[in-house]
Structure 1
Amino acid sequence: MAPIKDNLSAVLYGINDMRLEQRPIPVPKDNQVLLQMEVVGICGSDVHYLTTGCCGPFVVKEPMVIGHEASGTVVEVGKNVKNLKPGDRVAIEPGVPCRYCTYCKTGKYHLCKDLFFCATPPDDGNLSRYYVHDADFCWKLPSNMSLEEGAIMEPLSVGVHACKRAGIKVGDVCLIAGAGPIGLVTLLSAKAMGASKIVITDIMDVKLNMAKQLGADHALKIDRNMTEEQIVKKVHELLGEEPNVTFDCTGIESSVRICVAAAGLAGVVVLVGMGKVEMTLPLGSALIREVDVRGTFRYVNDYPTSIELVSTGRINVKPLITHHFTLEESVKAFEVAKTQEGNPIKILIHANPNWKRS
């Protein structure tokens, strides 16, 4: 392989301080692959790091390459890599665990305390020309899937994991609070897994219209003057019954309260959005209704499921993709993500310099 010299990378130095700079070409270890990065999506957490310097407990203290929703093409493999070869197109699962702790050994590797995660301080992300990653967390894409779809496997896996935590099955009736990207992938996942009726809520018509296009049975616009009781009553009226599964995809306390209050007897509430550490919730009524409240954190063993759902046509993620930029346009792309100009859902940055706009 000819020597590689261009590793242009998007590096976050501080609040609203993103710079494009050349970084050294990484060298894969024995169990890693060197990837030519192809497509990197912008996540809400990336925007938080840019605008506030932190996301939850994670704080940017040193310059950090941004980006973790990604796909790439293998260009070099470590000597112990057996599952991939140069030329393979992969979706990159950004979290790599230690593989040895109790959580890893019991199949909950996403809870590993020594987890490396792209673009979570202090770990660099992959919005760059080239990047190395552990081969067993690179998932080969079927021939009928694009690299753009490959990058969407990261947010889709969040929705898939939320639905697995909920135990979604054929005939379930659901409420999804929030029609942002995560609410929409949760909607797609729930439909694919058999949910029969879904109502989704948001404060913006454009988001609700997209939710309807993606299969929501009902789209409820929330007026800021509506009380929680009024919203719960409207959800029940639209569905014709109480939902047995509710998802909060906002992290907003009032939204979580509504999800708990709206759930039917022996229902399940799944918390997907990250919000305040402490909230006041109607747990007394949840107790006597035997409502389960379940947390979610990213995903675990969900990339294969997500790829299968897309490659077989049960989920179509293409409508989520609204904006395209080159790596050189990364600052502009993040500005669109910050301002929401043009109502973006999923903004993709193309790291391969050979990509051409269609």
Structure 2
Amino acid sequence: MSAHAAIAVTSKGVIETIEVPTEEPQDDEIYVKVEYTAVIPPEVYMVDRGMFIESYPYILGFTTAGTVMKVGNNVENFKPNDRVTTYAYGPSHNKGMQQYVNQSSSVCAKIPDSLSLEAAATIPDNFVCAFYTLFNQLSLPMPSSFPASVDPPLADTPILIYGAGTTAGQYMIRLLHLAHYKNIIVTASTMHHEYLRSLGATHAFDYRSFTLIEDLNRAVGGPNKLSVAVDCISAINTMVNIKDVLSPTGTVALLMPVKEGISLNVDEGKNMILDLPLPAKLNPFEKETNIIGVRTFFYQADPVLKEKLMPVILPDLLEKGLIGATPYRVLDQGNLQQRAEQALGLHRTNQVHGEKIIVKIH
């Protein structure tokens, strides 16, 4: 059996280049030559703390972009030479930081010729997270097409995206705008405000501002008037700020895990909460507040999303130019392991702001 190179966590704190078997696709899989993959914050937790890893070695990479080489016997909507991007959230052998990978066709999307492979690698994980959060976890009505042909029932209701400079937050703004929501309030660094407004944000506030709570309350119509919020950071300070503007009976969606610290970075001595309920000492919300813990890896429990989100909805949005890549940085110098180490280091040292880190594979 032939083999190919992959970047894997081989023990706590250690990544190495390993050789893995090159296997034929199963009936419902496509076999992809991987050109690019994204490195995301949870991979730092995986490497440094061993989180989410059941056994070593464990391959990294939660997205891929590349070219279809072969398809399984039951695959009808993909063919060799198709350019695709995939959400590589499955087990180790399906991860993206390897030269070749087999993926279920349900996590794959064709991309238009106008979109580069490196740009396509930025999209799947945060697009899926945003779509799943809004239209499944928060139960906002999913339009039958994009842009929506009619306004949703709560089109004018204020919706807060806290940490909207994150790539997941950027896709949430765009999707809400395409669904005809008209009061999209966001927090982010001021450097991102103009871009976020171009995506559809109606109000943008600096999360560092001393008047943040006052500004947010004014935007939503008064104290405790906000009924829907998403926390893209899910740290102690972000939850406290949301609590100060959210109605006691409102709904907040937390992108898991919840961090005990005050940022996306997690020190060894700090805890991460992987599931609800929140421990009392970390929960600032009122007892009546509806708290949702969003775990994107479960999105395929929704049969409609499993069947359509990646194979149908995303390609349609890309072809129409309604969804595109978020800002990104490509790492293409040195060998593959050096590029992976560099990507992880950028996340560890908080040098990633509103962009995706993309690693060239081939």
Verify same fold: TM over 0.5.
yes
Alignment of 1:98-177 (within 5 A): 117-119=90-92, 125-151=95-121, 152-164=123-135, 165-166=137-138, 167=140, 169=152, 170-177=155-162
2-structure distance, mates of 1:313, 1:129: 29
Give the alignment's TM-score, normalised by structure 1. Answer: 0.75
SS at structure 2 position matched to 1:309: helix
Question: Structure 2: which amino acid aligns with 1:201?
Answer: T
Alignment of 1:309-320 (within 5 A): 309-318=317-326, 320=327
Provide closer, same or farther for how the CA distance between residues 124 and 205 of structure 1 changes in structure 2, counting only shifts above 3 A: same
Q: CA deviation at 1:161?
A: 1.4
RMSD of the TM alignment (CA)?
A: 3.0
SS at structure 2 position matched to 1:7: strand
Q: CA deviation at 1:310?
A: 3.1
Contact 2:234 2:257 in 1 (8 A): yes
2-structure distance, mates of 1:340, 1:232: 25
Q: CA deviation at 1:195?
A: 2.2
Contact 1:246 1:260 in 2 (8 A): no
Alignment of 1:199-214 (within 5 A): 199-202=185-188, 204-208=189-193, 210-212=195-197, 214=199
Provide closer, same or farther for how the CA distance between residues 282 and 34 of structure 1 changes in structure 2, counting only shifts above 3 A: closer
Q: Are residues 1:19 and 2:16 paired?
A: yes
Structure 1: gaps (5+ residues): 96-116, 354-358
Q: CA deviation at 1:41?
A: 0.9
What residue in structure 1 maps to residue 170 of structure 2?
184
What residue in structure 2 maps to residue 282 of structure 1?
285
1-structure distance, mates of 2:15, 2:185: 38
1-structure distance, mates of 2:91, 2:117: 18
Question: Structure 2: which amino acid aligns with 1:92?
Answer: T
Q: Are residues 1:222 and 2:207 paired?
A: yes
Give the alignment's TM-score, normalised by structure 2. Answer: 0.74
What residue in structure 2 maps to residue 85 of structure 1?
79
Tell me the matched-pair count: 311
Aligned identity (percent) is 19
1:19-77 deviation digits (Å, cap 9, x = unpaired): 223333222223322211122111111122122221xxx23541111011222321122
- Aligned residue among 315, 331, 339 for 2:341: 331
Q: CA deviation at 1:265?
A: 8.1
Provide closer, same or farther for how the CA distance between residues 306 and 32 of structure 1 changes in structure 2, counting only shifts above 3 A: closer
Contact 1:69 1:155 in 2 (8 A): no
- Would you identify which runs of 4 or more consecutive aligned residues in structure 1 move more than 6 Å? none
What residue in structure 2 maps to residue 322 of structure 1?
329
Q: CA deviation at 1:191?
A: 2.2
Structure 2: gaps (5+ residues): 142-151, 259-272
What residue in structure 1 maps to residue 269 of structure 2?
none
SS at structure 2 position matched to 1:59: coil
